[in-house]
Structure 1
């Protein structure tokens, strides 16, 4: 692997608060048995749906990322990037209005078990140089029928003539505390005077 490839992978690794060490992965059964007498832990487990009726572990990916959606007060209709069409993301750049405030929402489904410390990491580059990096906590979730949606904090698009020239490549990744990668894809955008 090239030095550039190693650097890109390093940029897409989650950052943790000083002193924080993710715990080793546990099965649902292990979480059910964990400190049964601890009332606050019991409430946390109940909030995640960890109980006697929780679905059993299964094979296959724990998490399936469905889409990435950009929303803004200045945008008539959200821009939705369905991961089933990710081969076209680089061929068909989207336009983001310069200077606009927008947010990204990740839609995903937990297929089985429990995923802890789910994170969204995104690195934006222009002409090979990193211009923005986002590392946002999504949270911990258990399997369910309905997909989950998590909106990230609001971002501001760059503005000006120089910002509008050329295109930007965003590499987005969804991972967890165990560094299991559930989605890793690139999409391209340009800045324009309008969406």
Structure 2
């Protein structure tokens, strides 16, 4: 069995040239903007900007709650990890997700936003083998209002990838996944492994 993966401390979000983060507003401030405009009011309510429809535990201070990691591998049952289960992140560090070489696979993440609007949420991923980074990616997820009873979570599906192949590509890769927003807040960071097999 391979050693447990470590968090890649050098995984940092890249800035988008020319993009400037705007001042933060509360849900109530957004809801009250142009309050006399009925069409804007309906549009804001459809986004969940009316404070009555919001979900989330007021005692849970997290703004982004990552609920589930799913890996769909061609020709195999989906691998679904409920990240809200106690010990799930520790278990994920110990048991690599096995992918056959040349298989097509796709990652999906399910998450909830609570308490306030999140702007510029990004998913960062680093892939290392024997301590050497072999890949780094950054995917912009978008901006999201808090979830509502009608829309209890968001899903992000990433581009389909093909597992590497050949004797040198087989083995265990350490993965660091990280959720960061425009304010530089890291909402979740965790280490896990992928094992490429013949």
TM-score normalised by structure 1 residue count? 0.80
CA distance in 2, matches of 1:30, 1:48: 14
Match of 2:17 in 1: 18
Deviations 1:155-177 (A, max 9, x none): 2221111000x310000112211
Query: 1:19: Cα distance to partner?
Result: 0.9
CA distance in 2, matches of 1:175, 1:184: 9
Note if 1:143 corresponds to 2:147: yes
Deviations 1:134-184 (A, max 9, x none): 2112222222242221111122221111000x3100001122112222211
CA distance in 2, matches of 1:101, 1:82: 22
| Structure 2, unaligned runs of 5 or more | 1-5
After TM superposition, list the pairs within 5 Å mapping 1:113-132 onto structure 2. 113-132=116-135
User: Superposition RMSD on alpha carbons, in Å?
Assistant: 2.9
Q: Secondary structure at the match of 2:169?
A: helix
Match of 1:78 in 2: 78
Change (3 A) 1:52 1:188: closer
Change (3 A) 1:37 1:130: farther
Q: Secondary structure at the match of 2:31?
A: helix
Deviations 1:85-129 (A, max 9, x none): 111122111211212221111111223222222221111111111
Query: 1:23: Cα distance to partner?
Result: 2.1
| Structure 1, unaligned runs of 5 or more | none
TM-score normalised by structure 2 residue count? 0.79
CA distance in 1, matches of 2:110, 2:51: 27
State whether residues 97 and 194 of structure 2, in contact with CA within 8 Å, keep that contact through their aligned partners in structure 1: yes
CA distance in 1, matches of 2:41, 2:9: 37
Aligned length: 185
Note if 1:152 corresponds to 2:158: yes
State whether residues 56 and 113 of structure 1, in contact with CA within 8 Å, keep that contact through their aligned partners in structure 2: no
Match of 1:162 in 2: 168
Change (3 A) 1:42 1:70: same
State whether residues 172 and 186 of structure 1, in contact with CA within 8 Å, keep that contact through their aligned partners in structure 2: yes
Change (3 A) 1:172 1:162: same
CA distance in 1, matches of 2:55, 2:26: 9
CA distance in 2, matches of 1:82, 1:178: 27
Match of 1:49 in 2: 48
CA distance in 2, matches of 1:189, 1:15: 24
